[in-house]
Structure 1
Amino acid sequence: MAETTGGKRRQGPRKGDLREKAILDAAEALLEREGVELMTVESIAKGAGISRASLYFYFGSKLDVLSVLVARTVDAMAAQADVAQSADDSADDVVTASVRHTANLWREHGVVLRAAVDLAPVTPEIRRMWTGTVTRYAAAMTEVLARAGVADPAMAEALCWMTERTFYWASVNGDDLDRTADICAQIWCATIRGNN
């Protein structure tokens, strides 16, 4: 929604929102080129086209930037959980679509998702976001599986963590993410059929 200021309508995002996006985009690009260890606040600021002092106006540290970058990416995963939970399609179709969506996120933002997995054990905020996202996805998929006759919630949770780890290693190794999605979907669907 456009905001009015002194009788004029402001179109589009605010300058601060654009700067924050530029910072996050620069951090994602740096993750791809340099990794977490070599990336600095200075290199992020330079990549975003701002001064280091300006970056500190938006973020307190490199870790703060990474946390928000992870949040931006896992929000897209969490949104897919809501779509899966409300879908009226068969469980096999919902599972397959969800796993393919996950493959697309790993393809587009694998470097961020790998960083989230790598940083989760040592960064409480990222661990909370990451496990919260997988838990939310498991809750949604528990409902999908229950509609297909699989009543044990632990099944969906185990399958979600299996999928997360499988995509992580596929991304690390440069494996074909579409093939990874097919394999994960087959396991999900076999579980559904095996429990009916």
Structure 2
Amino acid sequence: MKNLPLSKVYQLLEPGPVVLLTTARKGRPNVMTMSWHMMMKFEPPLVACIVSGNDYSFAALRATRECVIAIPASRLASKVVKVGNCSGRDTDKFKAFGLTPMPAQDVKAPLIAECFANLECKVTDTRLVNDYNLFILEVTKAWTDPAQKNPRTIHHQGFGKFAVDGKTIALKSKMR
């Protein structure tokens, strides 16, 4: 065994695919790239996510208490990185990166047409926001694009590296 710098631990435990989080505040939609999230409960679906207090989306999420988690396929990887490398404070990211906002049913934040799945969410718990920037979201409506068959997600490995999910295997399990 060899020592691993603690700054690299997150690379081993990155919980899931890189997603796009949309918000809308004062009639202005925004989108950010997010990879720090995890499922907390099956039904109703609860998702925990961390949004830095420095991100433009943080204030919108805190004020409106709603968002959309849009899940992009690997073909959108370069756009996902570009979205994450600039701020919504001074950039209309939908326009700049050719993303199509679509109206959601339960929230004002837009769906993203190019993503294979979109989850409309409402903030249900903010007790850990002040200490950890951690929001608990309840998914209230979920959408998928049936035209996107077998989409592959991207997973952040740190320092500009991403893995694309691969082969799926089926094993008997009592897990859902």
More strand by share: 2
- Larger Rg, first or second structure (1 or 2): 1
Higher helix share: 1
TM over 0.5: no
TM-score by length of 1: 0.22
